[in-house]
Amino acid sequence: MPTALNKISKGNGVQRELMWMLLQHLLADQPGQNKRQLLAGLRRLGQPNLTTTDVNRALYANSVLFAHDGATPPRWRMAAEAADDFAAILAAAATALPRCYRGNEPRAWQTEALAAWRTQGRRGVVEAVTGTGKTTVGVLAAAAAVDAAERVLVLVPGRELLDQWHDVLRRALPGVRVGRFGGGHEDSLHDHSVLVAIVHSAARHQMLPLGAPGLLVADEVHRYGAPTFAYALEPGFGARLGLTATYAREDNGLIEHLEPYFGRVVAGCSYERGLTDEILAPFRVGFLGVHFSPDEQERHDEYDERARALRRRMILDHGCPEEPFGEFIGAVNRLSQGSAADPRTRDARNYLNAFTKRRQVLAECRSKQEALASLALVFATADRGLVFGETTTSAEQAAAVLRRNGVLAEAFTSELQQHERKDRLAGFREGKLKVLTAPRVLDEGIDVPQAELGVVMAGSKSKRQMIQRMGRVIRPKKDRRPAAFIVLYVRGTGEDPDNGAHEDFREQLIEVAQDIVDFGPDTSGADLLAWYCKGRMGI
């Protein structure tokens, strides 16, 4: 007896297979649709040029997959015997590489994620921790879309990712025209099959040619929940794929913009899966608490008290939402743009000033610089290291501290020229630099050479930010030695784990880290080196 899989193998290419998959998705959601209803559904899924004749041909061509009730017009459903077999179709489609693809062989989780995305009508968000290869998922989806004569738009948040995606796509799809839009580039989908675009540039233009079927891939998709960026999420793209390490926001942008557009989350790659499949290196985590000096404590307490009082006033007197924090800070920022004569504007500006100064005191705490100096021998022992700061000043101070202690280190900041950033990344890759110190510029996207030691100078309450930073150091090492991740924090402040800092992050780590330790206040540089070396030797 022929199976649905046999039937597809006799079809006329990728477009027919794609159409069968989309029809299956529509009928699984709502059995009993006629050809006109199915055509409307296919157009919603990004197939604007089909006709009812095309739908009829696809349905009648595969009686193993589809059955009708004999009415006029016929109402269609999935054939009972095809239900289990369709899983095999999706698996076969996922494992068969697109014709135009010349990239690396996909990992198992990438193949599974793409298959799951297809079962959702080619809509969804793939969540995968940093370092596991979510970019490849987007490249494979793009390649399959090109095979099916669709246009592909890849949205990225900034210039570095614009160039990285362009390079990756050109290597993986050598026969395909890949262009760029934004950052001085003005290519378009009218004469390119794939276009990588900076989101704020794409949001101001119509990117998909009228009537053309298309796939939209959104890298760092969590960034696009802001109303301005949401304009880039064009409804004409029927196929939609979001990529992120952590699909969460501190405001309502996910609910208002992202979920309605992309749909549900698709299982990607967690820490557990990454470690099991040996995509990620095993890792150890240490928390090292320090204390403020008396003058730092006084300044911190002053700004903290002021920020707390003004936050209450912004909520109770000026109507700012209390939660989530992103909605609160967004409302405060909007109020701060008003007239200086308006008391709401004055309070908003005063809150932002106190908030920023409190964060600055934490970021530039002198005891953190001293703790970093005590880690100099650890950095000297490691192959490469990264230091994550909060401000440009703290990153530059950290690099200076390490240099004074014999470690080749440079700051990597947004103030550098493009060529300077490339030179420092190249020096880090080639071993001319031992350590890069950076504020948030390294948190997302930039392709950083492998490091085995990461130190966080400014603790973040953002789970995503910590996952991004961890992903920079837990990529697999040739000899399977574990990576190390050390978080510096000021005791008794919002950075202190005892005050709830990193709670979600720590809970996630407990299940997967080889070791989690909170170093005591009297921990010496020798103690830190011993802890690091024992982990490196597997003791």
DSSP codes of every residue in 35-63: HHHHHHHHHHTT-TT--HHHHHHHHHT-T
- For residue 324 the two structure tokens come to 């989530």
CATH 1.10.10.10 segments of the chain: 4-88
| Two tokens, residue 135 | 């970019």
Task: Report, as an integer, the average pLDDT of 361-389.
Answer: 91
- 17 band by pLDDT with thresholds 50, 70 and 90: low
Residues of the chain with CATH 3.40.50.300: 102-276, 283-292+365-536
pLDDT bracket for residue 256 (50, 70, 90): confident
**% of the chain beyond a pLDDT of 70:** 87
pLDDT at 7 over 60: no
Q: Quick check: helix, strand or coil at residue 439?
A: coil
Model's pTM, two decimal places?
0.74
Residue 166's H or E segment, with its range, is helix 159-172
> Is the four-CA dihedral 193, 254, 159, 105 of positive or negative sign?
negative
Least confident residue range of 451-460, 505-514, 516-525: 505-514
Query: CA-CA distances (angstroms) from residue 478 to 385, 473, 533?
Result: 16, 13, 17
- CATH T-level topology, domain 4-88: Arc Repressor Mutant, subunit A (1.10.10)
Res 461: pLDDT: 58
On the question of pLDDT at 215 being above 70, the answer is yes
pLDDT in the model for residue 9 = 35
Of the listed ranges 121-125, 241-245, 250-254, 313-317, the least confidently predicted one is: 250-254
Q: Cα(5)–Cα(85) distance, rounded to whole angstroms?
A: 7
- Report d(CA 86, CA 119) in Å as an integer: 10
Kind and range of the H or E run holding 268 = strand 265-269
Q: What's the rounded Cα separation, in Å, for the pair 407 and 124?
A: 45
Name the CATH superfamily, with its identifier, for domain 283-292+365-536. P-loop containing nucleotide triphosphate hydrolases (3.40.50.300)
**Contact criterion met (CB below 8 Å) for 508 and 455:** no
Highest mean pLDDT among 18-22, 462-466, 474-478: 18-22
Q: Which of 282, 242, 215, 224 minimizes the C-alpha distance to 135?
A: 242
The per-residue pLDDT for 124 is: 95
Q: Does 243 have pLDDT greater than 90?
A: yes
Q: For domain 102-276, which CATH number applies: 3.40.50.300, 3.40.50.1370, 3.30.559.10, 3.40.50.720?
A: 3.40.50.300
